[in-house]
Structure 1
Amino acid sequence: MTEQRIELGLSASTPTSGGCGDACGCGHGAAASAPSSRPATDELRVEGMTCDHCVRAVTEELSALDGVEVLDVELHVGGASIVRIASTGAADETALAGAIDEAGYTLAR
Structure 2
Amino acid sequence: METILKVEGMTCGHCKKSVEGAVSELEGVKSAAVDLEAANVTIVHEENVSVDTMKAAIEDQGYDVVS
Same fold per superposition (TM over 0.5): yes
CA distance in 2, matches of 1:61, 1:87: 14
Pair 1:99 & 2:60 matched: no
RCO greater where, 1 or 2, for CA within 8 Å and sep 6 or more?
2
Larger Rg: 1
- Identity among equivalent pairs (%): 34
Q: TM-score, normalised by structure 1?
A: 0.57
More helix by share: 2
Q: CA deviation at 1:74?
A: 0.8
Instruction: Say whether the 8 Å CA contact 1:71–1:84 is kept in structure 2.
Output: yes
Aligned residue in 1 for 2:24: 63
Give the unaligned 5+ runs of structure 1: 1-39
Contact 1:47 1:81 in 2 (8 A): yes
Moved over 6 A (4+): none
| Structure 2: stretches of 5+ with no match in the other structure | none
Query: How many residues matched?
Result: 67
